[in-house]
Amino acid sequence: MWKPIHNTSISLQHQIINWMTEQIQLGNWGVGTKLPTQRQLAMQFEVNRSTIQQALEELKADGILEAKIGAGTFVANNSWNLLAKKPQPNWQRYIDTSIHKPNDRTIQLINEYEQDSSIIRLGTGELSPQLLPTKKLTESLQKLTFHEKDIGYSSPQGSDELRMAICQYVKKRGITTTPDNILIVSGALQALQLMALGLFESGSIVFQDSCSYLNSIHPFQSFGMRMKSIKRDESLEKTLCSFKKNRQSIYYTVPTLHNPTGTVWTAKEKQNFYEMCKSLRIPIIEDDVYAELLFDTPLPSIKSLDSSGQVLYVSSVSKTLSPGLRIGWVIGPTPVIKRLADIKMQMDYGSSAISQKIVTYWLTSGLYEKHLAELGSQLKIRAAFIESILHKYFHAIATWEKPLGGFYIWLRFNEPIVTKEFFLKLLKEKVLINPGYIYDIEDAHHIRLSFAYASYEELEKALMILYTESMLIFKTKRQ
């Protein structure tokens, strides 16, 4: 990421002007491109906001940029003519009118700064590199024999061997299935994207829990589906009926180690939920990617209750073995799997055949289950470590539930302090959080803490910065 150089003969202001001009000349910033806010640019370039303001004013005076009241600063229509003396397509108009919705700005910043090694990632949904079995994965590669088919394109539904291995493996989740009912996908997120493209008409309703991971991504919204957050209370059935009516609908849920709250459904809750959706003819997407990270033995999945093809079951090895392998799977009725496989072949012509070979080996050799046991022990220690800090410093200003597994603690501050300003303050202190409002737009109380990624030293440092910034806000509110 470019930053101006301090202590040179060229002022910071003019370095920024030259860089912005270059972006326009190279076509990286087309006509109509909206610039980040002055605060965001100041943070990105690590300069004072006044430096950014002066640079932007000079570019506006030259006609390169233009300000629109209440909207922001944009690349002016005549900028290309001024700089390059030739016309340029208005790419911003193409972007603004495209089908796929952009991420919320906070999500964009999270995705951007997760790549910065100087940032402490306090909310990330990823395992620490130290917890990944890198050495054993390397050793397993040396034990594999690859044939011509193994390094070519995969078959539409994925490797026969991997699908057979998954059939055996998911029995411990109470699921009985066949290879014909399994599709290998490039991670669980792709499964959701395929469903959005291939199963529902525009205007369909996707029900979800009131606080949901789906609000931080847009696989369904971008294709015209309506998201409806629902409380799972005693009036759930009545609520679903009132919104569903005659529309196509589906219910997305994470019943085991819910993302972001970490809650776990009981067997009775799963049974009642399945029976209710079955009677209302509402299909279920069961996202089960965290189930193997439960500290205790997980209860059977909702899919284990399914006798009528009601449940589309999604899982992957991204949260447990390696996100880089990009291997997940969908289990569902044969027509659904065939449809999703057809769309997947149009999108990427199949998941990595080499990755599928590796995952097959790990599932069938016993390496995967052994790794899960070791990983669970390490995560339990990490969870206890972060809880000890919370008990010591945060007990008077926040509450939380003891983690049952997975990566996260859903920390709730007693006051609504988790705003975009709070997020940016912490980012300036090199601490990256996942604020509650990316999962529920009205949530200003929660942050998702992860004990799975940062080192112990980084966790302690980041939590102390979080505590200090929180206390400053609390003291200001009391005055």
pLDDT at 296: 93
pLDDT in tens, 317-367: 999 999 999 999 999 999 999 999 999 999 999 999 999 999 999 999 999
pTM: 0.82
The reported pLDDT for the residue numbered 160 is 95
Higher pLDDT, 344 or 69: 344
pLDDT digits 0-9 by tens, 441-471: 999 999 999 999 999 999 999 999 999 999 9
Determine the 3-state secondary structure of 140 from DSSP: helix
Nearest 5°: the CA angle 168, 361, 379 is 85
Between the alpha carbon of residue 278 and those of residues 173, 185, 233, 281, the distances in Å are 20, 26, 17, 5
Q: What is the pLDDT of residue 92?
A: 72
pLDDT, one tens digit per residue, over 353-367 is: 999 999 999 999 999
- Residue 221, pLDDT score: 87
Residues 321, 133: contact at Cβ < 8 Å? yes
- In three-state secondary structure terms, 14 is helix
Q: What pLDDT sits at residue 219?
A: 86
Assign 146 a pLDDT band (cuts: 50, 70, 90).
Answer: confident
Tell whether the model's pLDDT for residue 175 goes beyond 60.
yes
* Residue 149 in this model has a pLDDT that exceeds 80: no
Neighbours of 137 (CB within 10 A): 18
Q: What is the pLDDT of residue 150?
A: 72
* Residue 301, pLDDT score: 97
pLDDT, tens digit (0-9, with 9 covering 90-100), for 396-429: 999 999 999 999 999 999 999 999 999 999 999 9
Task: Return the percentage of the chain with pLDDT > 90, whole number.
Answer: 74
Confidence (pLDDT) at 9: 80
Three-state DSSP at 231 gives coil
Residue 381 in this model has a pLDDT that exceeds 60 = yes
Give the three-state DSSP class for 147.
coil
Residue 251 burial class via C-beta count within 10 angstroms: exposed 0-12, middle 13-18, buried 19 and up: buried
**Length of the chain counted residue by residue:** 479
Residue 121 has pLDDT above 60, yes or no: yes
Coil vs helix vs strand at 72:
strand
**pLDDT (0 to 100) of residue 89:** 67
Whether residue 95 has pLDDT greater than 80: no
Question: Which of 245, 264, 261, 166 has its CA nearest to residue 207?
Answer: 245
What percent of the chain clears pLDDT 70, i.e. is strictly above it? 97
Say whether pLDDT at 432 is over 80: yes
Token look-up 């926040």 returns 398
Highest-confidence segment of 52-61, 104-113, 375-384: 375-384
Quote the pLDDT of residue 479: 65
Phi, psi of 419, rounded to the nearest 5 degrees: -115, 175
> Which pLDDT score, from 0 to 100, does residue 478 have?
72
> Comparing 345 with 153, which gets the higher pLDDT?
345
pLDDT above 60 (res 87): no
